[in-house]
Structure 1
Amino acid sequence: MAVDRLLPTQEAHDLIDLVRDIADKELAPIVEQHEKAETYPEGLFATLGEAGLLGLPYPEEHGGGGQPYEVYLQVLEEFAARWAAVAVALSVHGLSCHPMAAFGTPEQQERWLPRMLSGELVGGYSLSEPQAGSDAAALTCKAEKTTGGYRITGTKAWITHGGVVDFYALFARTGEGSRGVSCFLAPGQAEGLSFGKPEEKMGLHAIPTVTANWDGAVLDADRLIGSEGDGLPIAFSALDSGRLGIAAVATGLAQSALDAAVDYAHERSAFGKKIIDHQGLGFLLADMAAAVDSARATYLDAARRRDAGREYGRQASVAKLVATDAAMKVTTDAVQVLGGYGYTRDFPVERFMREAKIMQIFEGTNQIQRLVISRKLAR
């Protein structure tokens, strides 16, 4: 079911129509094939880049789409409604462009940003480590200064699109303490960089998640973004936007689960009438619809604050928390609506339920979101 969207301009309506057309033609026909076989959709991101869909929220002067964040997030939601793994990778690419777009020098931006925003270069975000997930200040991957650059040594973990993309927003330690982390634009392939076997995940099978091993790879000095020690503020400023991306993806996933459940409830009959006409099931579907609508309203509120230049960090955490919890509940309820069929791989709701779980974990677990929200309230 196409969502009836309230968009700010006719241009935004036209963009959503384009996205729906591309998603229906390029994503929907191949999602089950790639998710079941756990194969990467070669060429898909190039197609999306050629359509101008990989740099939508960034300035036009650098090759971006110049779209408000509230429009960009609804684009992500539309993609997620067809293929959550691809939508997550799109959100991560946008997250990976943020350090260069917000903190790069004019010379760095001129050199790299147009290729990043056009999708010629697709990016990944490399912050987490095996022992430093939610506690980003505990990372140990080192960037040691050399003549003309930095030598990177250490292990990074949980990299979405890792081993496939062209660049990483890489965070490594150049000093001690929370002010000892720096941000780099790292190449996707380099001597001294290798990747582990892709994680065997519960869901999002078509996009690899890997560990990266940096064994003395050298980066040129001009790949440092910002100043030494600016890494954690850069990372956290990007994560507020990234949390909104995941909120939008979770909402799209939940919308698809709701649509599948409603369609099935219209087709299936029991005790002489369609099961949607049984009050118990009808109320369950109503609660699912309320959860999806609430998730969408919550992320849009945060996005509009961001677009207006207002503080939105707490609202981003609220949106991520509300939308991903909603996705977990709605997808679980969709399986319940379909009964035994919902537990089989013949219907997509089984996949939706598996995909929803990770939404509560990455870009900061929902427990971390509660911590962020409570601390902001305490201030």
Structure 2
Amino acid sequence: MSIDFELTTRQKQLKGRVREFAREVVRPAAEYADSLPDPQQAFLAMRPAFRQAYSMGLATDFLPKRYGGAGATSVDMMIITEELAAVDAGFPTILLVNGLALMPLTWFGTEEQCEKWIGRATRLDNPDFLAGWVVSERGGTANFDHPDPTAGIQLYADHDRRNDEYVLNGEKHWPCNSGGWDLQGADLNVCIVRTDRTKGGTAGLSAIVIERGTPGIDYQVIDKIGHRTCQNVTMTFHNVRVPAANLFADGDGDLVINRNFTWSGPIAAIAAVGTARGAYDFALKWAKTYTGGGSTPIINHQAVGNLLAEVAAKIEAARYLSWKTAHYMDLHASEGHAFGGMNKVFSTELMQSVVDDCMRIVGVNAIDKRFGIEKYYRESVVYPLYDSGNLGMQRRKTWGVMADDAFSVDTFADCEPFAFKKSMEGYGLQPKH
């Protein structure tokens, strides 16, 4: 059969290895970290687990073999991410953002840039290596492709031709990993900047690499209700000077944003599946033992049994959509912009409803922190909002692809390639002519 949902022997071994690591190492670290009031201390509490994940290759496996990675497939990433997210949602986000920062170099960077920075990430002598993906601003990211240069991305990078440097001024809000373990900066941050103040979002944006130790950047940690084990910060840039050689995707920063969030779409979707699976596992065990003051466990009541059946079916549906999307991304080098968007939106919002149903099965005890299921609820509300928000970005990206005359309802069913173009951007920002 050409269609096969069975994991290979290698993938089953990968699943077992990561599940053991998640349960034995990540879970206890995350439970402790989540209880800490200081968000930076919560992040730091995950450092030993991150080092172990790094030694296992989980922080770099997705990178190409020619730069020291393992060339893991997107489907492999589905397996890894679900197992980690089933015990904690924030920890796999740290790993995901390493990819969000480094993968654009493989698509848009020069060979020299890839060898320099990706090679640094894959060296086994630095198990603390962090990379940050720096795109969102206080005004949001959704309007990054707006034709008005005063809208969208407003972190300016002005070219100082005399010194062949870019001078950055402005602010970024929500970048993950970017402050580093000591709030002195990640090993490298990949920033989307406005390099042309006169052009709109489809021509005036670029990407630039900022290395750790670059002066002029302030980091302020953001306190969140969920995903507390990963770090998000506000970055303020004061005349930050970066060598011109660090620039890439000149004038194509919009394509970097779209392709990057396409690559991460199924990963975010399967992370939501993992979180929902964790809540489902809790609710199922609860239903089999808890009587609610009655004479029999509540799973024997029709209302609970029916709801659990729906929960199980929704998780399976979201998982297989994520696997199919990942398979498509592997076939077409992450050029599945509408598919990635649909997957991220459908799965994260469906899984949020699944966790809510699990809370209802457990009842009022679900909001008691001693039982632990409330953490899944806090994590679930994050998914539709982060990693390219569903309402402002992912749906709009899908819309732009589907509006193209060449798009067919069979495109994804048949796994046909469909390249993303700049003409697909800008939908919903102003009337199309």
* Same fold? TM cut 0.5: yes
Q: How does 1:104-253 map to 2 (within 5 A)?
A: 104-118=109-123, 120=126, 121-137=129-145, 138-146=152-160, 147-164=163-180, 165-175=186-196, 176-178=199-201, 179-196=203-220, 198-226=221-249, 228-253=250-275
Q: 1:90 aligns with which of 69, 90, 95?
A: 95
Q: How does 1:330-369 map to 2 (within 5 A)?
A: 330-367=354-391, 368-369=393-394
1:144–1:375: structure 2 CA closer, same or farther, 3 Å change rule?
A: closer
The 3-state SS of whatever aligns with 2:72 is coil
Give yes or no for the alignment of 1:42 onto 2:47.
Answer: yes
The question of whether the paired residues in 2 share the 8 Å contact of 1:99 and 1:225 is answered with no
The question of whether the paired residues in 2 share the 8 Å contact of 1:57 and 1:67 is answered with yes
Q: Where has structure 1 moved over 4 Å in runs of 4 or more?
A: none
The question of whether the paired residues in 2 share the 8 Å contact of 1:50 and 1:118 is answered with no
Q: 2:316 aligns with which of 293, 299, 302?
A: 293
The alpha carbon displacement at 1:188 in A equals 3.6
Match of 2:412 in 1: none
The 3-state SS of whatever aligns with 1:29 is helix
Structure 1 stretch displaced more, 180-189 or 238-247: 180-189
The question of whether the paired residues in 1 share the 8 Å contact of 2:258 and 2:337 is answered with no
Question: What root-mean-square deviation, in Å, do the aligned CA atoms of Structure 1 and Structure 2 show?
Answer: 1.7
The 3-state SS of whatever aligns with 2:47 is coil
Q: TM-score, normalised by structure 1?
A: 0.93
The alpha carbon displacement at 1:148 in A equals 2.5
1:28–1:123: structure 2 CA closer, same or farther, 3 Å change rule?
A: same
Instruction: Supply the AA of the counterpart residue of 2:296.
Output: K
The question of whether the paired residues in 1 share the 8 Å contact of 2:75 and 2:327 is answered with yes
Deviation readout 1:69-127 (Å, 9 max, x if unpaired): 11112211111111100112211111111111222211111111122245743111101
1:324–1:207: structure 2 CA closer, same or farther, 3 Å change rule?
A: same
Q: TM-score, normalised by structure 2?
A: 0.82
The alpha carbon displacement at 1:13 in A equals 2.4
Q: Hey, what's the Cα distance between the residues in 2 that align with 1:72 and 1:208?
A: 21
Match of 2:396 in 1: 371
The question of whether the paired residues in 1 share the 8 Å contact of 2:29 and 2:49 is answered with no
Q: Hey, what's the Cα distance between the residues in 2 that align with 1:376 and 1:223?
A: 31
Deviation readout 1:5-29 (Å, 9 max, x if unpaired): 832x333222222212221221012
Q: Hey, what's the Cα distance between the residues in 1 that align with 2:228 and 2:71?
A: 31
Deviation readout 1:312-357 (Å, 9 max, x if unpaired): 2211111101111122111111111111210110122211111111
Q: Would you tell me which structure has more helix in proportion to its own residues?
A: 1
Q: Hey, what's the Cα distance between the residues in 1 that align with 2:269 and 2:88?
A: 15
Match of 1:68 in 2: 73
The question of whether the paired residues in 2 share the 8 Å contact of 1:298 and 1:322 is answered with no
Match of 1:6 in 2: 6
The question of whether the paired residues in 2 share the 8 Å contact of 1:162 and 1:210 is answered with yes
Unaligned runs of 5+ in 1: none
Match of 2:290 in 1: 268
Unaligned runs of 5+ in 2: 146-151, 181-185, 405-433
1:326–1:371: structure 2 CA closer, same or farther, 3 Å change rule?
A: same
The alpha carbon displacement at 1:231 in A equals 1.2
Structure 1 stretch displaced more, 185-194 or 296-305: 185-194
The question of whether the paired residues in 2 share the 8 Å contact of 1:199 and 1:210 is answered with yes
Structure 1 stretch displaced more, 62-71 or 259-268: 62-71
Deviation readout 1:141-178 (Å, 9 max, x if unpaired): 11111212211111011112231232211011110212
The 3-state SS of whatever aligns with 1:370 is helix
The 3-state SS of whatever aligns with 1:129 is coil
Instruction: Supply the AA of the counterpart residue of 2:397.
Output: V
The alpha carbon displacement at 1:363 in A equals 2.0
Q: Hey, what's the Cα distance between the residues in 2 that align with 1:232 and 1:315?
A: 18
Q: Hey, what's the Cα distance between the residues in 1 that align with 2:239 and 2:171?
A: 11
The question of whether the paired residues in 1 share the 8 Å contact of 2:130 and 2:177 is answered with no
Instruction: Supply the AA of the counterpart residue of 1:372.
Output: K
Q: Hey, what's the Cα distance between the residues in 2 that align with 1:15 and 1:191?
A: 41
1:49–1:152: structure 2 CA closer, same or farther, 3 Å change rule?
A: same
Match of 2:277 in 1: 255
Instruction: Supply the AA of the counterpart residue of 1:378.
Output: A
Instruction: Supply the AA of the counterpart residue of 2:252.
Output: D
Q: How does 1:21-40 map to 2 (within 5 A)?
A: 21-37=20-36, 38=39, 39-40=42-43
